Amino acid sequence: MGGTGWGMTEFGWDVKYPGVQTLVAKFLMQGKAGHYAPVFERYQQKAEYFMCSCLGKGSRNVQKTPGGLIFRQRWNNMQFVTSASFLATVYSDYLASAGRDLKCSAGNVAPAELLGFAKSQVDYILGDNPRATSYMVGYGNNYPQRVHHRASSIVSIKVNPSFVSCRGGYATWFSSKGSDPNLLVGAVVGGPDAYDNFGDRRDNYEQTEPATYNNAPILGILARLNAGHGGYNQLLPVIVPAATPVVTKPSPAPKPKTIPPTKPKTTPAPASSSGAIAIQQKLTTSWISNGKRYYRYSTIVTNKSAKTLKNLKLSISKLYGPLWGLTNLGNAYGFPSWLNNLAAGKSLEFVYIHTANAADVSVSAYTLA
């Protein structure tokens, strides 16, 4: 299908080769290629051809604006920027995990340089550019005010409930010179031209139109940049065996004290906090792999008080597998990185997988404000 032959310098909604080549390169570095290794190596060569072109160190390189942004075409160029930066971010971690450098025609490149390239593109998108313009709506002090987006261009029904027809919306709002009355916060628009110029006009759809394929890749990049330099091994993650449907009722793993896994379990907090915080666990699925039964548990923590819950610390014991949705504080677990408090009546969820009954979860500390 061309994966071993096509060396690309773009990755977007219409060209998927670099993504496939990068993924196959991951399989190769994981040692999963088997007798396909010679073919997978050719995929990896093309993946690295793409990475080198983004860095400007290949035999054929991507075009960039004077301000340093990848430029492929005027109409929604930002899709190529975020997609290429996402691949560079992923491949940087693959290389670091494998303990190797990127091989370019201009010489070897350390994985950190690939990640640095991705960060430079994100910095540009968020305002570090010749125009000092953020191309993410609502971010910074200078961002697009006239996005080519019907719902954003028309006043919110909460502000004016009057009916707006299809033609009426076009005739009245599309040609308006005013700023968007309904801010499309977070949307990444098409972006500047080859010379870093940008026309903030609603009819300039090539530059002001947002797209899901602009936003989706940048979320992955931001998540990785937020993680810092934790030394994550992307080739050897915590792998839970693939789920196999189980028809029979799960039998509890042998333990001195068993709890039926099919019934929700509520772990009460200590007496001093039982009135403010509720904790409920339930088994959501189970499967058998290599003779072992794995259980996935969902745990809901709810603020039952009338105040905001802060500085939450949970004590979790009898946990024998990976956990997602909380921050490990060493001797306790706290709010995840994207949450710093829990409003009255709100809940958070975390999940974990292991081969035993539900872990013991309790509240060890918290404050109400």
Confidence band (pLDDT; 50, 70, 90) for 66?
very high
* Contacts with 165 (C-beta within 8 Å, 6 or more apart), sequence order: none
pLDDT at 244: 52
Confidence band (pLDDT; 50, 70, 90) for 285?
confident
pLDDT at 267 over 80: no
Given CA atoms 256, 257, 262, 267 in this order, what sign does their dihedral have? negative
Q: Which domains are delineated in the chain?
A: 1-126+212-253 (no CATH), 132-210 (no CATH), 271-368 (2.60.40)
Confidence band (pLDDT; 50, 70, 90) for 6?
confident
> What is the three-class DSSP state of 310?
strand
Do the Cβ atoms of 320 and 355 come closer than 8 Å? yes
Model pLDDT for residues 112-126, shown as the tens digit of each residue: 999 999 999 999 999
HSE-up of residue 90 (Cα within 13 Å, Cβ side): 22
* CA–CA dist 28, 45 (Å, integer): 11
Q: What is the dihedral of CA 101, 105, 106, 111, to 10 degrees?
A: -20
pTM: 0.64
Give catalytic residues, as residue numbers. 148, 200, 209
pLDDT at 318 over 50: yes
CA 333-334-336 angle, to 5 degrees, is: 115
pLDDT at 214: 96
Do the Cβ atoms of 145 and 179 come closer than 8 Å? yes
* CA–CA dist 89, 245 (Å, integer): 34
* CA–CA dist 361, 16 (Å, integer): 44
Confidence band (pLDDT; 50, 70, 90) for 239?
very low
Model pLDDT for residues 79-114, shown as the tens digit of each residue: 999 999 999 999 999 999 889 999 999 999 999 999
pLDDT at 238 over 60: no
Structure tokens at 226: 């937020």
Structure tokens at 336: 């995840």
* CA–CA dist 136, 138 (Å, integer): 6
> What is the three-class DSSP state of 339?
coil
Average pLDDT, integer, range 149-168: 90
